[in-house]
Amino acid sequence: MADDYYAELGVSRTASEADIKKAYLRLARELHPDANGGDQATEERFKAVTRAYETLRDPERRRQYDMFGADGPRGSGAGDPFAGGGLGDIFDAFFGGGGPFGASASGGGRARSGPRQGEDAEAVIDLDFRDAVFGTEQEMHIRVLQRCSVCDGSGAKPGTSPVTCSVCHGAGEVRRVRQSILGQMVTAGPCPQCGGLGQEIPDKCTNCAGQGRIRGESSFVVEVPAGVDTGTTLRLPGRGAAGPRGGPNGDLYVHVRVKPHPTLTRSESDLLADLHVPMTQATLGAHVPFETIDGIEEITVAGGTQSGKQVRLRGKGVPHLGRHGRGDLLVTVVVDTPTELTKTQEELLRQLAAERGEQVAEADAGLMSRIRGAFK
């Protein structure tokens, strides 16, 4: 299976749903096993193209593929149409349902009845800089659709039960036959009577109006791993909206937003900071205490250090997200020029300049001296 589903179909990553479908139909006609005499290589390519199409035609699965790739967070089954009946969908399209040998490709009826999964939800979590670096646990409160406590998600009035749908007879879908350039084709869609669930509710729960879910507040603790940063998205399976009529919950995607640190900035797994030292320490050298994310560290400033010199403290940066080790702390030395000198300090500096043979400006003799100098 190709890792790049877009390349497999020959479309760009910004291709529309219509472009993806058009590309797939062209390749499917070209590669279908019945049109290639059972050639094994062509059949494998047909399966790969089908797998790519099954992922990219579904907006949610396409979004997850774009975020996480072919081996996304839902596991291998999320991107494998052959593991969940997807091949049968293709046979439906080409042979009018049931596969090329008169039976469903997935072995028996492929009824789609049953509660569907709830919608995914999104939330934002604000973290202090230190918590983002070292990880934390933080309580979250979100409002999502939750399972109705009165009917326990069935949607039926207590004491009653759902019954088999009178339109689809429990299949959850209705099929329509139409003619195409490929011959007779059968298309299937959710049953309009039961919404694809295969059951109707004669007596609906008054608390949820037969939906099996109501909006409410959900509270839980989020375990934030060490090393997250602004833009990191955490996926919490099963924390999204409850599915209608007892269906499983969707997922919650938590987008991380990190507050800035007063002295430290981040560059991937490294931390950056400035260390201001006076001219005397930069000239003669010193051991200067410096506050890192781990606590106070002593930084050695060598004699003759120039402004802009960088000192690297290895392993004092941000933990690598999802793996061992940490980045470094890069401290840039900034040499501060003294200002507001006393007369004694100024005289000492002039003596130093004279000793080193360096030209400096004359001492300020005052306003009247400058006025007299202007008329000479």
Check pLDDT > 50 for residue 365.
yes
Segment 44-51 long-range contacts (CB within 8 Å, at least 24 positions apart): 47/82, 47/87, 48/1, 48/2, 48/8, 49/8, 49/9, 49/24, 50/24, 50/81, 50/82, 50/86, 50/87, 50/90, 51/1, 51/5, 51/8, 51/79, 51/80, 51/81, 51/82, 51/86
What per-residue confidence (pLDDT) applies to 323? 81
Percent of the chain with pLDDT over 70: 81
Percent of the chain with pLDDT over 90: 18
Across the beta sheet with 265-267, the strand order is: 265-267, 270-278, 329-336, 310-313
Mean pLDDT of the residues in the chain: 80
Catalogue all structural domains in the chain, each as residue range(s) with its CATH number: 1-79 (1.10.287.110), 112-162+201-260 (2.60.260.20), 265-336 (2.60.260.20), 343-374 (no CATH)
What per-residue confidence (pLDDT) applies to 340? 86
Q: What is the pLDDT of residues 37-86, one digit of tens each?
A: 667 788 888 888 888 888 898 888 888 787 767 765 543 344 444 444 44
